[in-house]
């Protein structure tokens, strides 16, 4: 499990969490990060301009309404560690908040269930990201007709202070799919509509 966390889970999660406007770590291989073009390419985006989609067409989610948002994507192409991630975040860094959806691959012998990921692997990662954290809710759930496991987290970050996080994980074969929202408590509460739309509308090509 230790190798699994170090080589696969941590690079992807650390690239996404508590970015504060900073780029992801160099540990994520072959990474690219680009702001959303005026008309995002990809099959999902072409079909619905209300979606922000990765260029490889693997991940898409509803663009948050209104001004003050920046949407970016990251990809990793190293064999056995492929990942596609999209994120829409508030541009006002004083109001730290982002929405994220990602699809990443693990070796077949390291496949875990959504519950195992949510209750074992992810909390071990939160310990590295936050000074302290509390899982306030952990439950089996269904999203887009597929089973998964959802967590709600209250945490303290070294530089940003109190943080709220909601994370849902699903799996198919050796793919892991994560939908999450993270931000300062007051912003997190204010963006409840955007969170619900993101969690309901995120799409993964590799999740049949």
* Distance (Å, whole) CA 137 – CA 166: 9
Cα dist from 168 to 82, 94, 136, 143, 193, whole Å: 20, 26, 14, 9, 17
Beta-carbon contacts of residue 177 (< 8 Å; ≥ 6 apart): 101, 102, 103, 148, 169, 170, 171, 204, 206, 207
Sign, CA dihedral 141-146-147-151, equals negative
All structural domains of the chain with their residue ranges: 2-204
Model confidence pLDDT, tens digit, residues 33-90? 333 333 333 444 445 779 999 999 999 999 999 999 999 999 999 988 899 999 999 9
Residue in 56, 95, 51, 93 with CA at minimum distance from that of residue 71: 51
Predicted structure pTM score? 0.80
pLDDT in tens, 195-205: 999 999 999 99
2-204 CATH: 3.40.1000.10
């Amino acid at each position: 499990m230790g190798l699994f966390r170090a080589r696969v889970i941590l690079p992807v999660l650390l690239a996404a969490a508590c970015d504060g406007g900073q780029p992801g770590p160099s540990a994520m291989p072959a990474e690219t990060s680009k702001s959303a073009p005026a008309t995002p390419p990809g099959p999902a985006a072409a079909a619905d301009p209300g979606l922000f989609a990765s260029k490889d067409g693997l991940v898409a989610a509803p663009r948050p309404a209104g001004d003050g948002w920046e949407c970016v994507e990251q990809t990793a192409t190293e064999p056995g560690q492929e990942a596609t991630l999209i994120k829409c975040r508030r541009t006002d860094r004083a109001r730290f908040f982002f929405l994220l959806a990602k699809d990443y691959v693990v070796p077949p012998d390291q496949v875990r269930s959504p519950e195992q990921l949510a209750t074992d692997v992810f909390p071990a990662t939160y310990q590295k990201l936050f000074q302290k954290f509390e899982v306030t809710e952990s439950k089996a759930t269904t999203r887009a007709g597929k089973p998964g496991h959802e967590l709600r987290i209250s945490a303290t970050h070294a530089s940003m202070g109190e943080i709220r996080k909601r994370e849902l994980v699903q799996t198919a074969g050796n793919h892991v799919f994560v939908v999450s929202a993270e931000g300062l408590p007051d912003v997190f509460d204010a963006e409840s509509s955007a969170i619900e739309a993101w969690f309901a509308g995120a799409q993964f090509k590799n999740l049949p």
